[in-house]
Amino acid sequence: MTIMYEWRGTVDNEALDRLHAEGFGHAVGRADWRGRLERHSLGWVCAYEDGALVGFVNVVGDGGVHAFLLDTVVAPRHRSAGVGTALVATAVEHARAAGCAWLHVDFEADLRRFYLDGCGFKETAAGLLAL
């Protein structure tokens, strides 16, 4: 399996909708991913196998030293093969190059080992307010 990683890669809305639905277990939506990314993101990383989108992570910046990972997703058939950690490592590299000093991520309990052990994040106290 040869996976290519691209910072600010070409985003096909339909392909990302399908990957997001497959990865998060919901119906395929119709989001304007490209428009959303261009308006709000510092950058994003796409993972491709033979030109097909198999992984994605979004990096949103605050305009200063903080960046946030969102929508990390890997196609189920490519999980446990290092694709997710490579996506995050590429995001880390580019966020650092953009002058960010901190990269934040929120995750569900089942992803704890992935983010803390696999990607090197440290556990912190945080808060969340449902709106």
Query: CA-CA distances (angstroms) from residue 31 to 20, 28, 36, 46, 60?
Result: 10, 9, 8, 17, 17
What's domain 4-118's superfamily in CATH?
Gcn5-related N-acetyltransferase (GNAT) (3.40.630.30)
Q: Where are the domains of the chain?
A: 4-118
23-45 per-position pLDDT tens digit = 988 999 999 999 999 999 999 99
Quote the pTM value. 0.93
42-92 per-position pLDDT tens digit = 999 999 999 999 999 999 999 999 999 999 999 999 999 999 999 999 999
User: Distance from CA of residue 80 to its chain's centroid?
Assistant: 16
